[in-house]
């Protein structure tokens, strides 16, 4: 046990409310209901094959992706935990095409909850860390059912955001706009205890995360950045870099919050009509809010992700975040004109190796 000398999540939220008028009692109650959902999902994840929650659900979601059984179960747990008590005017989930209607006769509140009930789904069946991500916005018309358009708010309008990571230990990482705090779940006491009171991302890093199997589809600035990292101490960065890819956004985020790093899931040419892999409302915005609150930077590759005006509930976008100096470098590369002011388009299926920067630019 962590010992009861540490603050619990409830005590932290009460303290925040005393210090910051924005953290209302209703917001605190909603965050605690989200935490309840994450506790239940943590237990379902821990049971895994024992509880027959692995494998495909047999349906596809609005993203056109095969749902895992645990995707659906996590979604149902979130809905149950937040439907009845939360001061909500509406909810949007990755697993549902439209906003989720609140029960008839249920009072409509002043917040909107947007969530990815289970992130990193491809890792479920191989027992690698997964998580849940949530974002809380103010309802434009409190007391009434929220319309889909009410959710289309830029990320800078979030009042709270966080994630739970179901790893060797279950943690909840949260911001209410006053920095970032981490809470570790004590399964014996059954509560989240404050173990990381003020998480800060180191300004610099020598560790990057990207799915390198997409290299042939990357745009020139991303290819340049990665090739320079791979060139190591003999290249323009004059330093060796490490690479990670867990295929779980929550796990990558947690590593970067704990020790720094930079994550890239850029817009690429693999599916030109798709503006990126990750979803703006319930992945990039909440993670971006946490990263910026922890002193890092969260970008589309060309500018702050929290400034993007959403156009659709499940809109995808290129996403780069982490240690500030590296994200700023990547944004500079996107801003620099190549080859005297015009970027020569790389052939769609460029056969060049990752290891030949000059070849990649010699088209």
Ligand X SMILES: O=P(O)(O)OC[C@H]1O[C@](O)(COP(=O)(O)O)[C@@H](O)[C@@H]1O
Minimum CB distance to Mg ion smaller for 26 or for 65: 65
Burial of 341 by CB count in 10 Å (0-12 exposed, 13-18 middle, 19+ buried)? exposed
Q: Does 75 bind ligand X (CB under 6 A)?
A: no
List the one residue from 34, 38, 39, 119 that touches Mg ion (CB under 5 A).
119
Minimum CB distance to Mg ion smaller for 120 or for 322: 120
Minimum CB distance to ligand X smaller for 94 or for 207: 94
Contact region with Mg ion (CB under 5 A), list: 38-46, 119-127, 293-301, 353-361: 119-127
Does 122 show up as a binding residue in the annotation? Answer: yes
3-class SS of residue 126:
helix
Which tokens hold the place of 170?
A: 């279950």
Site for ligand X in 249-268 (CB under 6 A): 249
**Shortest distance, position 175 Cβ to ligand X, whole Å:** 19
Q: Tell me the longest C-alpha to C-alpha distance in the chain.
A: 67
Q: Does 116 bind Mg ion (CB under 5 A)?
A: yes
Q: Dihedral angle at the C-alpha atoms of 300, 71, 272, 344, nearest 10 degrees?
A: 40
Count of residues interacting with ligand X (CB under 6 A): 11
Alpha helical stretches, state H, 167-311: 220-231, 249-259, 285-293
Contact region with ligand X (CB under 6 A), list: 27-35, 37-45, 74-82, 246-254: 246-254
Through-space distance between the first and last CA atoms of the chain, rounded to whole angstroms? 60
Q: Does 75 bind Mg ion (CB under 5 A)?
A: no
Minimum CB distance to ligand X smaller for 205 or for 248: 248
Q: Which helix (H) or strand (E) holds 119?
A: strand 111-119
Q: Which does 248 bind (CB under 5 to 8 A by kind): Mg ion, ligand X, none?
A: ligand X
Q: Which does 74 bind (CB under 5 to 8 A by kind): Mg ion, ligand X, none?
A: none
Tell me how far apart the alpha carbons of residues 252 and 124 are, in angstroms, rounded to a whole number.
15
Site for ligand X in 271-290 (CB under 6 A): 277
Count of residues interacting with Mg ion (CB under 5 A): 4
Which tokens hold the place of 227?
A: 């090739």
The string of DSSP letters for 214-254 reads: GGGG--HHHHHHHHHHHHGGGSTT-S--EEE--S-HHHHHH
Residues that bind ligand X (CB under 6 A): 94, 116, 119-122, 211, 247-249, 277
Contacting positions for Mg ion (CB under 5 A): 94, 116, 118-119
């Amino acid at each position: 046990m962590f010992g009861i000398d540490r603050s619990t999540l409830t005590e932290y939220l009460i303290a925040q409310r005393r210090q910051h008028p924005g953290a209302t009692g209703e917001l605190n109650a909603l965050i605690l209901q989200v935490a309840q959902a994450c506790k239940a999902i943590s237990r379902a994840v821990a049971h895994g094959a024992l509880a027959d929650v692995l494998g495909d659900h047999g349906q596809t979601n609005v993203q056109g992706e095969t749902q895992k059984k645990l995707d659906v179960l996590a979604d149902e747990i979130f809905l149950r935990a937040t439907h009845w008590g939360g001061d909500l005017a509406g909810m949007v989930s990755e697993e549902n095409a439209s906003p989720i209607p609140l029960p008839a006769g249920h009072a409509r509140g002043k917040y909107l909850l947007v969530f990815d009930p289970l992130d990193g789904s491809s890792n479920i069946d191989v027992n690698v860390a997964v998580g849940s991500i949530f974002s809380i916005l103010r309802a434009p018309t409190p007391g009434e059912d929220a319309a889909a358009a009410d959710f289309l708010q830029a990320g800078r309008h979030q009042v709270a955001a966080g994630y739970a990571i179901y790893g060797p230990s279950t943690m909840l990482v949260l911001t209410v706009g006053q920095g970032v705090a981490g809470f570790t779940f004590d399964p014996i006491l059954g509560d989240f205890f404050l173990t990381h009171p003020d998480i800060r991302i180191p300004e610099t890093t020598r560790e990057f995360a990207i799915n390198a199997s997409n290299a042939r589809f990357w745009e020139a600035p991303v290819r340049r950045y990665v090739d320079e990292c791979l060139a190591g101490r003999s290249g323009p960065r004059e330093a060796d870099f490490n690479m990670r890819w867990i295929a779980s956004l929550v796990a990558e985020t947690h590593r970067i919050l704990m020790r720094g790093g930079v994550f890239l899931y850029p817009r690429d040419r693999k599916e030109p009509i798709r503006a990126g892999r990750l979803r703006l409302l319930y992945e990039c915005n909440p993670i971006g809010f946490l990263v910026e609150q922890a002193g890092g930077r969260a970008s589309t590759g060309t500018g702050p992700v929290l400034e993007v005006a959403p156009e659709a509930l499940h809109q995808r976008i290129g996403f780069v975040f982490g240690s500030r100096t590296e994200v700023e470098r990547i944004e500079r590369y996107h801003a620099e004109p190549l080859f005297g002011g015009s970027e020569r388009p790389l052939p769609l299926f460029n056969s060049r190796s990752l290891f030949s920067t000059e070849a990649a630019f010699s088209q």
